[in-house]
Amino acid sequence: MRFALSLNQIRTVLEDLYTRYNHPAFISPDPLQFLYRYDDPSDREVVGLICATLAYGRVAQIVKNIEKLLYRLGPSPTAMLCSAHDTCLQRLVSGIRHRFTGEREILALLCAIRDVVRYYGSLHRCFCTCLQAGERNVMPAIDRFVQLLGASYQELTRFTLPRPKSGSACKRINLFLRWMVRKDAVDLGDWHGVQPSFLIVPLDTHMFRIAHALRFTRRAQPDLGAALEITECFTKICPEDPVRYDFVLTRFGIREDFAGQECDWLFAPPIGTSSKMPRPQAADRR
């Protein structure tokens, strides 16, 4: 595949973006912001899966609905879920809906998380049981993980948590894994049983447009095949961490102060330009 720029040029631009913008100051309004409220890794992984599952549609609506759900779960979501009966959770989700994800699907998600955590001890341990030697990436493990989550709640795998087996790029589960597996100034890296090199790009429509502009894929839809192609191209740039640049590239899609400036940064020299994009304060460089 011929790239719009050389791989070295792309690497230089992406590293510049990473250095400038991979900082906590640029997280909001990303749903990742909610994980920072919790000190316990068991709460962060549960909240992370909930947030990632609802991370589709308009950002303002995503944040509003997650806020409402987390408020009802209280300060210790994992303890609350593990002690709750179905009838309690039915009352908890009453009146909460996020686009195509209604009360029934949210209830199924919470019950599935509860059941898995009760049985395995954590989502992390459950996911690690889904890993098998010889596999090149996390997609087969994701398929097994979603199958376990949806074992008693089949409605989960129709839209809420689709399986790679159906051809889905599984953007939301891959986003969740990025938060859990990678460790840097933004991603939490609470999970140690998965290698960052196995991760797949969380492919949404915005990242799909950027990937098309970079000629990382020629596919017409942001499906599983496109996600694998795009990840393979990022692997050529950063083999040990192919989703390293996902956070900074997705700022263009969710932050108003970044909107519409992809071309300025991806197809013009980043050093010495007069970009209007925001710059972190010194205190944010951590």
Q: What is the DSSP string of 45-80?
A: HHHHHHHHHT--S-HHHHHHHHHHHHHHH-S-HHHH
Identify whether 286 is part of a domain: no
- In this prediction, residue 151 carries a pLDDT of 87
Identify whether 14 is part of a domain: yes
131 pLDDT more than 80: yes
Q: For residue 42, what is the DSSP state?
A: H
Distances (CA, A) of 159 to 120, 123, 176: 25, 20, 16
- In this prediction, residue 158 carries a pLDDT of 76
Residue-range definition of the domain harbouring residue 98: 30-197
Identify whether 142 is part of a domain: yes
Do 36 and 48 lie in one domain? The reply is yes
277 pLDDT more than 50: no
- In this prediction, residue 261 carries a pLDDT of 67
Which range among 110-124, 158-172, 187-201 shows the weakest confidence by mean pLDDT? 158-172
Backbone angles phi, psi at 226, to 5 degrees: -65, -40
Do 12 and 98 lie in one domain? The reply is no
Identify whether 279 is part of a domain: no
Do 18 and 60 lie in one domain? The reply is no
Do 160 and 173 lie in one domain? The reply is yes
Identify whether 281 is part of a domain: no
272 pLDDT more than 50: no
Do 133 and 6 lie in one domain? The reply is no
Identify whether 59 is part of a domain: yes
Do 3 and 77 lie in one domain? The reply is no
Do 153 and 112 lie in one domain? The reply is yes
Residue at a domain's end among 197, 214, 236: 197
Do 56 and 169 lie in one domain? The reply is yes
Count of structural domains, the chain: 2
- In this prediction, residue 267 carries a pLDDT of 57
Percent pLDDT > 90 in the chain is 77
Residue at a domain's end among 160, 175, 197: 197
Do 78 and 186 lie in one domain? The reply is yes
Identify whether 283 is part of a domain: no
Do 153 and 124 lie in one domain? The reply is yes
Averaged over 54-74, what is the pLDDT? 95
How far from each other are the two terminal CA atoms of the chain, in whole angstroms?
Answer: 36
Half-sphere exposure of 120 toward its Cβ, with a 13 Å CA cutoff?
19
CATH at residue 120 = 1.10.340
Identify whether 282 is part of a domain: no
Residue at a domain's end among 181, 197, 213: 197
Averaged over 230-259, what is the pLDDT? 92
Do 205 and 153 lie in one domain? The reply is no
Do 36 and 158 lie in one domain? The reply is yes
286 pLDDT more than 50: no
pTM greater than 0.85: yes
Q: Within the chain, where are the H helices?
A: 7-21, 41-53, 59-73, 77-83, 86-92, 103-120, 123-130, 139-149, 171-181, 205-213, 224-237, 246-254, 262-266
- In this prediction, residue 137 carries a pLDDT of 97
